[in-house]
């Protein structure tokens, strides 16, 4: 159980600190009107970043071609042919830009869903730990009501309350920065609680 939790924490924190996004590790399959994103490279799947760079190079090349065509049109050379060529190149440019936009949108959606699923999985795995913390808080409250309280017990109680609060906030966190910050606090408090408990 601890290994799984540490693995999930490592993956989530590690990926976020290494890169602002996962696009270096994502693979894309592009069909006519569909983009499929995967963490696994299989046949016809290529790195999303490489695909975006290739599309950007094609966009630049097509834009340069359009400028040349416009130059020839301005000079009055072979107007009928060049006007049709301009229309075709403009359509190609629109398709390339739309493809790039679709890939970026799908990457962002994939990353967001992956982060949310990771957090959900993490919350499911730490729920028994949260329940143990809440039970300990009930016992500590019973002790303090019976006038048995020490500064160490009060400090321990505060750590437990903060940890339960962090877990609750994690379950509703939506931004990468918020999740990263809460996970770091969770790991720190978990170590502190274990140390105080020993």
Please name which of 35, 31, 26 lies closest in space to residue 102, comparing C-alpha atoms: 35
Q: What is the mean pLDDT of the chain?
A: 85
Beta-strand pair 27-31/46-47: antiparallel
Predicted pLDDT of residue 13: 44
Residue 163: its pLDDT value, please? 95
- Predicted confidence (pLDDT) per residue in 52-110, tens digit: 999 999 999 999 999 999 999 999 988 999 999 999 999 999 999 999 999 999 999 99
- Is the per-residue pLDDT at 12 higher than 70? no
Cα–Cα dist 148/129, whole Å: 25
Q: What is the mean pLDDT of residues 139-166?
A: 88
| Strand partners for 34 | 31
Joined together, the tokens standing for residue 72 give 């020839």
Structure confidence at residue 33 (pLDDT)? 76
pLDDT at 131 over 70: yes
Annotated domain spans of the chain: 2-197
What is the mean predicted confidence (pLDDT) over 102-120?
90
Report the alpha-carbon distance of residue 59 to residue 40 in Å, rounded: 27
pLDDT tens digits, residue range 13-53?
A: 444 444 445 667 889 988 877 888 888 888 888 899 999 99
Distance CA 70, CA 95 (A): 20
Identify the burial level of 69 via C-beta atoms within 10 angstroms of its C-beta, where 0-12 means exposed, 13-18 middle and 19 or more buried.
buried
């Amino acid at each position: 159980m601890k290994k799984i939790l540490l693995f999930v924490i490592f993956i989530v924190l590690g990926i976020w600190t290494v890169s602002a996004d996962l696009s270096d590790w994502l693979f894309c399959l592009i069909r006519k009107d569909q983009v499929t994103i995967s963490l696994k490279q299989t046949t016809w799947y290529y790195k999303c970043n490489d695909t975006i760079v290739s599309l950007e190079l094609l966009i630049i090349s097509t834009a340069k071609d359009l400028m040349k065509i416009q130059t020839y049109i301005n000079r009055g050379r072979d107007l009928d042919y060049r006007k049709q060529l301009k229309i075709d190149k403009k359509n190609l440019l629109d398709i390339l830009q739309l493809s790039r936009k679709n890939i970026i949108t799908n990457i962002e959606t994939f990353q967001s869903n992956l982060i949310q699923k990771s957090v959900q999985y993490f919350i499911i795995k730490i729920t028994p730990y949260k329940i143990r913390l809440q039970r300990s808080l009930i016992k500590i409250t019973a002790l303090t009501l019976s006038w048995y309280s020490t500064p160490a017990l009060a400090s321990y109680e505060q750590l437990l309350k903060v940890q339960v609060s962090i877990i609750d906030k994690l379950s509703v966190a939506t931004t990468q920065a918020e999740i990263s910050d809460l996970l770091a606090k969770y790991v720190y408090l978990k170590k502190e609680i274990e140390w105080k408990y020993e």
